[in-house]
Structure 1
Amino acid sequence: MISVLFVDDHEMVRIGVSAYLTTQPDIEVIGEADNGKKAVELALELRPDIILMDLVMEGMDGIEATEKIVKAWPEARIIVVTSFIDDEKVYPALEAGASSYLLKTSKASEIAQAIRSTYQGDAVFEPEVTNKVMAKMRNRQTTLPHESLTAREMEVLLLVAQGKSNQEIADELFIALKTAKVHVSNILSKLEVQDRTQAAVYAYRQGLVPK
């Protein structure tokens, strides 16, 4: 039997889907929650095979609940079941640790099959989600890290490549020392490098420093 925890703040949704799942010989709903806080508590207490997670709920939402559950229990398999397909929901949910992503327009039979597939270790996505993920992967492959820098951050990077200190950068650009430090920190983060030396090496390798 595949044990399931169902999280949704709409009682009628829980009743309807749970009623169908109870007719399946290999699926058992062992708990229900109507908010993220309760979902985290029940997930860590019951340790279900699959968690069906709504995203928009009062208090703690499904994204935060997913993140907390996965952080405390990395083996958790969470299927998002939501009405939302926008970037502000899809990417944070997947980054939080959701295994699969379905819409509430899915048939109960499709949810049941997604439960089985996710339990077996497969990811199940709505076609729109798959398209979004693939597009983002393509963008990551074709976009260089420095292309995300602002014009000001690019100026600072070039000065870092010249060996300028934070104070020298601040003086040359007529900005506060604190602001210069923030720019350098942002640059290191965006370039995914550990220190100023690596940032300078990156700038030279990419041909960003005028000859």
Structure 2
Amino acid sequence: MNETESKKRVLLIEDHTDYRDAIRQMLGADGRYACVGGFSTLELAFAALEEGLEADIVLLDLGLPGMGGIDGIAPLRERLPEARVIVLTAFVNREKVFAALEAGAHGYLIKSANATHLVKALDEVAEGGTPLDAKIAGMVLDTFQKLKPITDEEKLAPRELDILRLVAEGMTKNAVADELGISPHSVSGYLRRAFDKLHVHSLPAAVSAAIRRGLIDFSE
């Protein structure tokens, strides 16, 4: 294994050249991460992935030319199913935050974060966590506090909640089944019941709904 292979591979999708270069320098200075590609659009990044580029972490801006960052999260996760996607943007908009989380982002950071904070977020997401900027975490908490109380019919069973938490950490249905010692078919059944209780129709929406209701603790 060479030095690059021992590092976490970071794919950077950011249209501002100066900021992209600054992130590259920061990653190089840290030594534990290697920027394997920096692109100004999702289309260019997808082309590189089609040619075999691989990454462990994706840092994604939202305000990109061409395909927008939120629209790109799902296809990024399809192409890099084991990678963790962190939104790194100037947008502190409630709708964009929850749209990104519903699309499958593993973290949401504001560009004003300093290098130390960004590296800490990379460490957290590499370990399976969900890094959120303090402003974003406060927004999530505020949204949760304004929700109607959950009725008995809407309360998730412990197993349903366990499965949603594991999915929120980036695990696939098969991996969840292995982790819990049940069949993938059982995982799907629990998820369908969770969908009904949360009034959603997709897995990302279920995770987002659980986040909004405070059922998934980002500090864990």
Scaled by the length of structure 1, the TM-score of the pair is: 0.63
Do the aligned partners of 1:80 and 1:102 also contact (CA within 8 Å) in 2? Answer: yes
Following the alignment from structure 2 to structure 1, what is the Cα–Cα distance between the partners of residues 91 and 57? Answer: 20
1:2 aligns with 2:8: yes
Query: CA offset at residue 68 of structure 1?
Result: 1.2
Cα 1:39–1:140 change in 2 (3 A) is farther
AA matched with 1:110: H
| Correspondence for 2:25 | 19
Do the aligned partners of 1:40 and 1:65 also contact (CA within 8 Å) in 2? Answer: no
Do the aligned partners of 2:10 and 2:56 also contact (CA within 8 Å) in 1? Answer: yes
AA matched with 1:106: A
> 1:169-184 residue pairs with structure 2 within 5 A?
none
What SS is found at the alignment partner of 2:112? Answer: coil
AA matched with 2:69: G
Query: CA offset at residue 43 of structure 1?
Result: 4.7
Cα 1:30–1:139 change in 2 (3 A) is same
Query: CA offset at residue 51 of structure 1?
Result: 0.5
Following the alignment from structure 1 to structure 2, what is the Cα–Cα distance between the partners of residues 91 and 59? Answer: 21
| Correspondence for 1:111 | 118
Q: Pick the structure with greater CA Rg.
A: 1
AA matched with 1:120: E
AA matched with 2:128: G
Q: Which one is further off, 42-51 or 92-101?
A: 42-51
1:127 aligns with 2:144: no
Query: CA offset at residue 142 of structure 1?
Result: 2.1
Do the aligned partners of 1:55 and 1:82 also contact (CA within 8 Å) in 2? Answer: yes
Following the alignment from structure 1 to structure 2, what is the Cα–Cα distance between the partners of residues 33 and 94? Answer: 22
Which of 50, 61, 64 aligns to 1:57? It is 64
> 1:95-110 residue pairs with structure 2 within 5 A?
95-110=102-117
| Structure that is richer in helix per residue | 1
| Correspondence for 1:37 | 43
Following the alignment from structure 1 to structure 2, what is the Cα–Cα distance between the partners of residues 24 and 115? Answer: 11
Q: Which one is further off, 34-43 or 23-32?
A: 34-43
| Correspondence for 2:212 | none
Following the alignment from structure 1 to structure 2, what is the Cα–Cα distance between the partners of residues 100 and 42? Answer: 23
Query: CA offset at residue 143 of structure 1?
Result: 6.6
AA matched with 1:5: L
| Correspondence for 1:84 | 91
Do the aligned partners of 1:43 and 1:69 also contact (CA within 8 Å) in 2? Answer: no
Show structure 1 runs of 5+ residues with no match.
Answer: 145-188, 195-211
Do the aligned partners of 2:55 and 2:80 also contact (CA within 8 Å) in 1? Answer: no
Show structure 2 runs of 5+ residues with no match.
Answer: 1-6, 152-195, 202-220
Q: Which one is further off, 126-135 or 17-26?
A: 126-135
Following the alignment from structure 1 to structure 2, what is the Cα–Cα distance between the partners of residues 41 and 136? Answer: 38
Do the aligned partners of 2:49 and 2:79 also contact (CA within 8 Å) in 1? Answer: no
Cα 1:18–1:73 change in 2 (3 A) is closer
AA matched with 1:57: L
Which of 21, 26, 34 aligns to 1:28? It is 34
Query: CA offset at residue 193 of structure 1?
Result: 9.7
Q: Alpha carbon RMSD of aligned pairs, Å?
A: 2.6
Scaled by the length of structure 2, the TM-score of the pair is: 0.61
